[in-house]
Amino acid sequence: MPLQIDSFLFILRLLLVVLLYLFLMQVVIAITRDLRKTTAASADAGNRAPQTQGHLVVVDSGPSNILPGTRFALASQTNIGRGPTNTIQITDNFISAEHTRLWLRNGTWYVQDAGSVNGTYVNNQPAREALPARNGDIIRVGYIQFKLTQ
């Protein structure tokens, strides 16, 4: 009987070591992927300066440290989030790494949540699917409210 318990515990230890190495491998893969995205985004930003198509003006900053009245320039494709690859990078605990996507198509802005935890809203309507937004509409990203301006 003690031989079976010893071999069982040995197998469990081996399984734990294998799972630990698999976890560490996943962490290294994720870090490498993020570094490549950051490098590619930095190279793209250095090669071309996006034209400003509009602005987001902070109306209510909620619990963040962003001052109301702060203006963020919008390119024709804009991503908002905490991550380094976003067009508008906001370091706030209620903003996800990739929070919101905005894009301009045929003169109309479209807003869509990128699977964030705290959501994206256009005039208090959830933007789970792409929603059109007009000049003067309020876009809420987490707890920060922006006004869309041209």
pLDDT tens-digit readout, 13-36: 999 999 999 999 999 999 999 888
Clarify whether residues 14 and 39 are in a common domain.
yes
Clarify whether residues 88 and 17 are in a common domain.
no
The domain total for the chain is: 2
Clarify whether residues 115 and 96 are in a common domain.
yes
Residue 136's pLDDT band (boundaries 50, 70, 90)? very high
pLDDT confidence of residue 150: 80
Domain containing residue 70: CATH number: 2.60.200.20
Per the DSSP assignment, residues forming a β-bridge with 55 are 73, 149
Clarify whether residues 86 and 125 are in a common domain.
yes
pLDDT confidence of residue 37: 84
Residue 101's pLDDT band (boundaries 50, 70, 90)? very high
Clarify whether residues 78 and 59 are in a common domain.
yes
pLDDT confidence of residue 46: 60
pLDDT confidence of residue 110: 96
- Section 124-137 average pLDDT: 94
Comparing CA positions, the residue from 99, 102, 139, 142 lying closest to residue 118 is: 142
Query: Going by C-beta distance under 8 Å and a sequence separation of 6 or more, which residues neighbour residue 29?
Result: none
**What's the domain range around 69?**
54-149
Clarify whether residues 131 and 67 are in a common domain.
yes
Clarify whether residues 61 and 126 are in a common domain.
yes
Clarify whether residues 36 and 92 are in a common domain.
no
pLDDT confidence of residue 52: 77
Amino acid in position 8: F
Residue 50's pLDDT band (boundaries 50, 70, 90)? low
Clarify whether residues 25 and 96 are in a common domain.
no
Residue listed under structure tokens 């706030």:
92
For the record, the structure tokens of 23 come out as 């976890």
> Taking a C-beta distance cutoff of 8 angstroms, is the pair 110, 84 a contact?
no
Q: pTM, whole model, 2 decimals?
A: 0.66
Reduced to 3 states, what is the DSSP secondary structure of residue 123?
coil
Clarify whether residues 43 and 58 are in a common domain.
no
* pLDDT > 70 in the chain, percent: 92
* pLDDT > 90 in the chain, percent: 69
